[in-house]
A = this chain, B = another copy of it.
């Protein structure tokens, strides 16, 4: 185990770690005791029909949702809904390579986890721990959108509404290659030592290089041209790259990033239907909003739109934001109001 302060209660407030016991994985591995980090807001009503599930993205946790998306002034309103954010397996808070004391799965021995494993684990946790059998809404961005689609396809009878922000149901070949370049930055750092480093500091070069790839693909060309980093309080492009991007990635556990990247690369609801994506998406009964970001370089609108046409009761709503994929961090004050409007509309729909 590595004591990485980024995953402390100081930085990630008010979460509970809940064990769901043994989790057998799609790829054949096992997590002997799978622990999921969960944060909730609001109160579960008696009918247990006011539940919103939030799934997390690559290199992310529930905290960004707490900071940005949830509150009485947002669509994700704890005064109306019981909101549950479940951190994905391997994200550093839930069971992950660096934080398990089980030698059979620690560090380089961590098994391969798929999006489907996360959704199975989340369903079990919600049912066994909270007695929740039904979701009013499942919402997530990026890898969270992958989990959202997986929910809607795997458990259609359990999901009334789904909102997939800036992500796809079937990962694209381009995304696979991009994600591979992210992981290569870590694996090519000698300090990674095949996954057996003793602190992030040993892999800092690789983490910084990964941050640089996020600079070029995570934002849009216009973000840089219009020097939008100045609006965020940075004095120069270099300062934004080092003090924001490098700093953000340097603290994240490298093996966690590799675990999530492997999962992201292989997200695919068509695994349920022998590779037939239209058949898989045809199973969705949830009222679904597909919410790509206009300037996204690696989950481009057209990839999301193509999937939307295969989802029976769905609607395409493009989020206009120059920041590109990392608009998810709500750099632009106009971003969250768009999300709020779409989620409010979706929650208001009778299903």
Contacts and interface: CB of A to CB of B under 8 A. Distances in A.
Contacts of A205: 188
Contacts of A224: 172-174, 177
Contact of A221 (B172, B225, B241): B172
A188 B212 CA distance: 13
Contacts of A297: 297
A217 interface: yes
A323 interface: no
Interface string A180-222: 1100100011100000000000000100010011011101111
Nearest to A298: B221
A239 B81 CA distance: 50
B212 A184 contact: yes
Interface of A: 172-174, 177-178, 180-181, 184, 188-190, 205, 209, 212-213, 215-217, 219-225, 227, 237, 241, 297-298, 300, 302-303
Kindly report how many copies of this chain are found in the complex they form together: 2
Contacts of A221: 172, 174, 298, 300, 302-303
B212 A173 contact: no
Given A172-B221, A188-B209, A181 B216 contact: yes
B190 A225 contact: no
B237 A209 contact: no
A211 to B, nearest CB: 10
A181 B185 CA distance: 10
Nearest to A219: B174
A239 to B, nearest CB: 13
A217 to B, nearest CB: 7
